[in-house]
Structure 1
């Protein structure tokens, strides 16, 4: 897909066909025209104003940040009560008024909002004082098999741009610096076999590389072009950047950059290690949601700072109790910037822990652990234990003869391991892998190895390493 073209479905089919059948240089012109339009959005006075505010609030004291959050929350609650039919009904049925929600501590008075609630009450969640034609309809990528739609208003889009620019600034990266992007943009046809597999967005000083054409035959071309570009930063999905970095490690190639910006997928320790080594820099990971209710960014010290100005995060443990520092829980988030379709106490399905400490980087935004996984991507063992994907990366570390892998939990006592073999793969590799996996999931778990030609990404270009079909049903 040409970047962002999916937001214009009526034009999409005709424009995509014209774009794909055009010469390389004309395609660069199309992508750059999009970049010019997008850059105007990113550099307008409203975004710059919001960015200046965020540059101040990140240094607020904890009490100042809490007051800032509560002020934004009270405005949102009043708006939701007066203009959003779903929330007006929720308040009335619980004998509440906006005055009952004065701080984030009062949010417990309201029920949670689930994905199913959004589907059932979609129209009633849209604010009556907003015209839907002026809102942007978006959807999750649907990696769990059940995409979700919702609306963004203009303010949340402007704020998103400001938050991203602040995150970049933590790494010393600005809009005048070149970056290479390895995400889900289908910038050349999937059927194309011959390069170039990248397109230039000159106004944004950005080069889009296809995530769908990366293989041992094409990766030398990727490396050569990236060296020619000499970007200051690499931006992409962890799995995509890791594919490139692993090829570089196998061929003793290093390309120093100032930062690697990752997002949209969990990042595992082995990926972080290889990426940071081959690109000779730190990863600045970003946690966020298409629902725009919560976000956290990694600073120069490697800590994840919660964006307090973005949304309020609560953590819900397995017993259904709101937990505090040190205990793992599901993220329940309230977005503070989207008035067109507010989502209050939204159950994200993501899990993390709060950290009750300060960061030496000087930013005062609260800390949390990395969001390693979706809860429904954890492995549930026969004896009832939940295993993070990070635990299961270790058996694969010595598996130099595996090109790609994917773990699918079909039942509580059955795992299927999809494997794309390299030429040197042998029965000994299978024996070692099965032994190491059994030591972590238990010998009651049946494990089947399924050797395949390839493991496909989703339509959004994302890659799910663990697919659990049992956790959601058992929780």
Structure 2
């Protein structure tokens, strides 16, 4: 579709049809990037008062919390927020347990997707405009969570994505290729999503199928589709880039004109940042250019291809869903030759922060309040690590007020060269799982095993171990009926097209790793075998 048609007709029409105020949210965010830090805190205070007033009036569980903290919503401020207790995944599960127990069969779960839910209205507004829509967390913590989102919150996240993309010259309707989780078997709503993607110039490549043949097909699709930007899990994107760079015969085609244009766009003033030139980004671009020029000349890269029928290179690469390791960032920058920007958020907590062109991870202060707390629940000192606690100011259907993410970060208090006054995070420590491999040398993202587990309401926590013989031991906690156990084994095996033996174990508890972290997916396949898979010749 022509990008202007998507931007001016298709996307606004879709938003109007489902009652999602994305355009209004985007206008507000665009104005916020001209605000001072104090002005942003005033905006947060106003939104916090509205959220607390709504939660007190419509959500019985929050009414009890707010009254116990002796907070008057109409005059609350950012400091009074600390009087409220934090909200954990277990708190949400306890509030929703009656519904989860009644919603085991697929039909029941589907029926509540857009209807008022009486059983868990302690945390929800059951009659929020547009209805409540069921979501499940990505499962990277090993503790899946079912929660609900309203149209207002959906619009906020979409507006934040558009806002941050514009920092890099990306507009709605520009062609996007994303490497993401895709089901093995398409359901009706998956087909509708696929149709919507085509209407808005999106193309999905499954991160669950990273076989050499699948990656060859993905690279071919990339050349034909000519994406303006690429989005996905950093580990999967880096693996795809490494696969391409390992094959001297694969020559990605891009026009030299666009490569030069990308460099020029990095050096020019970033639109909307009060016309301040991003000098820090210029310096970082020079460093990337020098690193790229030191790589072997035999390695084909998008930045060095120099033209051909494949079309121009993308303008930017965006990653999210797991930590972006420095080695993966270097691989992606070397291969694509364009800026690589990381985003931080979660399905339940929303769009929290994103890197600007200067490389700073700015908090989306127009939509979220972020606190960094120590083990005692106190704010951490400057430059000290603390748990990320989020209050989403636009989540009114199921408010998340002082939600504990389980991730750790530090404040970056230095002024950003981009001029944006939004607070910035540094040193975010999220969760990252191993790849899962088959005896044939194929690999899949860890989420391939996680998807069926996170959808099961009986599973409280889980841990997946791939043994040296490539079989999978899946450990879960919770009270699972025998029929559910058998179904889970089948569903996990189906994710790998029944090529792996899957054994399900119900445990009383899942102890953390020696590091203290809960590793969700761990592989015992020998390192030598992994290296052999990566260098395996093309069939």
Q: Do both proteins adopt the same fold according to a TM-score greater than 0.5, normalized to the shorter chain?
A: yes
Shift of 1:335: 0.8
1:277 is the counterpart of 2:334: yes
> Which of the numbers 301, 304, 309 marks the counterpart of 1:254?
301
Q: Measure the CA separation in 2 of the matches of 1:170 and 1:219.
A: 30
Shift of 1:348: 0.8
> Which of the numbers 99, 122, 134 marks the counterpart of 1:137?
134
Q: Is the 2:370–2:390 contact (alpha carbons within 8 Å) kept by the matching residues of 1?
A: yes
Root-mean-square deviation (CA), in Å?
A: 3.6
Could you say what secondary structure the match of 2:317 adopts?
A: strand
The residue number in structure 1 matching 2:241 is 245
1:182 is the counterpart of 2:179: yes
Q: Measure the CA separation in 2 of the matches of 1:229 and 1:335.
A: 36
TM-score by length of 2: 0.61
> Which of the numbers 342, 351, 355 marks the counterpart of 1:298?
355
Question: Any unmatched runs of 5+ in structure 2?
Answer: 1-5, 97-119, 188-193, 248-298, 303-312, 443-464, 475-490, 496-510, 519-539
Shift of 1:224: 2.2
Q: Is the 1:305–1:367 contact (alpha carbons within 8 Å) kept by the matching residues of 2?
A: yes
* Stretches (4+) displaced over 6 A: 36-39, 187-190, 418-423, 454-459
Q: Measure the CA separation in 1 of the matches of 2:205 and 2:441.
A: 24
Could you say what secondary structure the match of 2:212 adopts?
A: coil
Q: Kindly tell me: are residues 209 and 188 of structure 1, through their superposed partners in 2, closer, same or farther at Cα, counting changes over 3 Å? A: farther
Q: Any idea what the Cα deviations from partners look like across 1:75-100, whole Å, max 9, x if unmatched?
A: 1112212221111112333444335x
Q: Any idea what the Cα deviations from partners look like across 1:268-302, whole Å, max 9, x if unmatched?
A: 11111101110111112111121135600111111
Shift of 1:186: 2.9
> Which of the numbers 77, 81, 97 marks the counterpart of 1:107?
81
> Which of the numbers 189, 207, 212 marks the counterpart of 1:211?
207
Q: Is the 1:125–1:341 contact (alpha carbons within 8 Å) kept by the matching residues of 2?
A: no
The residue number in structure 2 matching 1:59 is 34
Relative contact order higher in (CA < 8 Å, ≥ 6 apart): 2
> Which of the numbers 26, 31, 41 marks the counterpart of 2:14?
41
Q: Measure the CA separation in 2 of the matches of 1:354 and 1:264.
A: 21
TM-score by length of 1: 0.68
Deviates more, 1:333-342 or 1:131-140: 131-140
1:356 is the counterpart of 2:356: no
Could you say what secondary structure the match of 1:130 adopts?
A: coil
Q: Aligned runs of 1:56-135 on 2, under 5 Å? A: 56-98=31-73, 102-122=76-96, 123-128=120-125, 130=127, 134-135=131-132
Question: Any unmatched runs of 5+ in structure 1?
Answer: 1-32, 191-197, 378-388, 390-403, 407-417, 424-447, 462-466
Q: Kindly tell me: are residues 273 and 104 of structure 1, through their superposed partners in 2, closer, same or farther at Cα, counting changes over 3 Å? A: same
Could you say what secondary structure the match of 2:401 adopts?
A: coil
Could you say what secondary structure the match of 1:134 adopts?
A: coil
> Which of the numbers 419, 423, 426 marks the counterpart of 1:366?
423
Q: Aligned runs of 1:279-358 on 2, under 5 Å? A: 279-292=336-349, 295-358=352-415
Q: Measure the CA separation in 1 of the matches of 2:402 and 2:175.
A: 38
Q: Is the 2:373–2:379 contact (alpha carbons within 8 Å) kept by the matching residues of 1?
A: yes
Q: Measure the CA separation in 2 of the matches of 1:87 and 1:452.
A: 49
Q: Any idea what the Cα deviations from partners look like across 1:143-189, whole Å, max 9, x if unmatched?
A: 33321111111111111111111111111111232121110123777
Q: Kindly tell me: are residues 132 and 46 of structure 1, through their superposed partners in 2, closer, same or farther at Cα, counting changes over 3 Å? A: closer
Shift of 1:469: 4.3
Q: Measure the CA separation in 2 of the matches of 1:277 and 1:456.
A: 37
> Which of the numbers 222, 225, 228 marks the counterpart of 2:221?
225
Could you say what secondary structure the match of 1:323 adopts?
A: coil
